[in-house]
Structure 1
Amino acid sequence: MQMSLKIRKNRSVALLEPCVLTECMAIIAGAWAPNVIWHLRAGPRRFSELRLDIPPVSAKVLSQRLKELEARGVINRTIQPTTPPSVEYALTATGEELVPAISAIVDVGHKLKMGVTGSAVQSQAVD
């Protein structure tokens, strides 16, 4: 006789609109998007500066990502009145709001890289 497992109630707080989580994750899930946001957190950068900040990214992918982030309202693109004209990218207020989330992901990434797991952290706290 096989017993079926009882479905447990999900105790997490329900999102008012499930699509908002998906929308936000879609922004930072794009290749190199978190890196772009991370490097713009300290102020405006030009395209060539971002290429230096993120060496593995190709010019094509960086250009695509900047266009996507601008279209989603995460960054602003401003043409500077220089000779020749130059373009700067900066975080919008919405983009700034993503920085703490990406910073938290970076912190967890450091822990994972060091091999610290949840059980290791708990056992260290008990000692």
Structure 2
Amino acid sequence: MSKIDEKTYKCGMELTMDVIGGKWKTVILWHLRSKTLRFSQLKRRLGSITQKMLTQQLRELEEDGLVNRTVYPQVPPKVEYSLTDYGKSIIPVLYSIYSWGIDYAKDFDVNLDIDDLILERIKNRKI
């Protein structure tokens, strides 16, 4: 049972933050926005996340209907993660958050380790 099934929310923002809030969930959703990834691929992209935390966050996103987990019956086991249609519906919001972060970094002189080509694609994307 998902934690959201056990709670009554006062507003949509509270529910949204409960579903996607925290340090890693939006970043996981961001990396899954354009392709299906295996656990190890996600782990590599996220860098400092622990295996335990990634597992927990993926389970919660799956329970809340944002991520699909597909297990292939083979040896060694192959598990892939992708966004559900509902997970895909939050992509425009993630692009807005990403763009806001870029603007914030520029305005407050925060260092970002980001490829300029990627930055231009994001900034010029029509949402």
Count residues with an aligned counterpart.
100
Q: Does 1:55 align with 2:36?
A: no
CA deviations over 1:92-122 (Å, ceiling 9, x no partner): 0110011110110010100000017xxxxxx
Task: Report the Cα distance in structure 1 between the residues aligned to 2:77 and 2:51, rounded to whole angstroms.
Answer: 19
Alignment counterpart, residue 19 of structure 1, candidates 11, 20, 31: 11
Q: Which residue of 1 aligns with 2:59?
A: 67
1:35 Cα deviation (Å)?
Answer: 0.7
Residues 75 and 91 in structure 1, CA contact (< 8 A), matched pair in contact too: yes
Structure 2: stretches of 5+ with no match in the other structure: 1-8, 109-127
1:18 Cα deviation (Å)?
Answer: 4.4
- TM value normalised by structure 1: 0.73
Task: Report the Cα distance in structure 1 between the residues aligned to 2:22 and 2:72, rounded to whole angstroms.
Answer: 27
- Structure 1 residue ranges (4+ consecutive) displaced by more than 2 angstroms after TM superposition: 17-21
Greater radius of gyration (CA): 1
- TM value normalised by structure 2: 0.73
Q: Which residue of 2 aligns with 1:34?
A: 26
- Percent of aligned pairs with the same amino acid: 36
Q: Does 1:114 align with 2:106?
A: yes
Structure 1 vs Structure 2 CA RMSD: 1.5
Task: Report the Cα distance in structure 1 between the residues aligned to 2:106 and 2:75, rounded to whole angstroms.
Answer: 47
Structure 1: stretches of 5+ with no match in the other structure: 1-16, 117-127
